[in-house]
Amino acid sequence: MKASDRAYAMLREDIVEWRLVPGTVLGEVEQAERLGVSRTPLREALARLTGEGLATAQRGRGVVVSELSLDHLGELFELREALECKAAALAAQRGDREPFVVLRDRLLAAPALLTDDDPQRSEYYALSAELDSAIDGAIANSYLSQALEGLRVHLARVRRLAKDDAARLRQAAVEHASIAGAIAEGNAPLAAAATAVHLNNSLNHIKATQHTSEHREAIHG
């Protein structure tokens, strides 16, 4: 792997997993030393991250990890609804139904994955990613798949704002099962509608979580 690719992959993971929080300055000297690369490949990595919107150049500070505010969330979910509802509808029209039958059943059983033995919810998120992959494979549209891939990088950051709440994830599993079930039935309007319901519930939960956190900080600040 090229040094620039390695630096990009490591920085991207650190940003998505919130090891590098919004507003963190990505100083060239510091990050090059931390990642074990020279400054030239690091600059290339930072340019890629900036192009994806995970970092931004600020006058007087250099490159910093981009902010993720509630205003940004609204815009992100507007795009998400446009892309994901269309993808679900296309998957219902074009895809093989059997994989979605299996996914529907696994998603209905997903609450069993939400245990204290897996505090990062990695098993649940892996199953959710399987649904994403199945939809990508079913839509037969490389441009839409590429757009969804770029979007999901930002959605991975959003998860931390939702606090990995087990109750919400159990409800999300039911919503995902409804999406998979609609695709399995070949019902494009229902697949799109089920996706819209899931996205609306997800956004409302994140907003409520953030407002609660801000209220607590105001009280204890």
Q: What is the pLDDT of residues 59-111, one digit of tens each?
A: 888 999 998 877 778 888 999 999 999 999 999 999 999 999 999 999 999 98
Give the separation between CA 122 and CA 124, rounded to whole angstroms: 5
Give the separation between CA 159 and CA 78, rounded to whole angstroms: 17
Give the separation between CA 117 and CA 113, rounded to whole angstroms: 9
Q: What is the pLDDT of residues 185-202, one digit of tens each?
A: 999 999 999 999 999 999
Name which of 8-12, 113-117, 174-178 the model is least confident about: 113-117
CA distances, 151 to each of 13, 47, 83 (Å): 15, 18, 9
pTM (2 d.p.): 0.82
Q: Predicted confidence band at 212 (pLDDT cuts at 50, 70, 90)?
A: low
Kind of pairing, strands 55-58 and 62-65? antiparallel
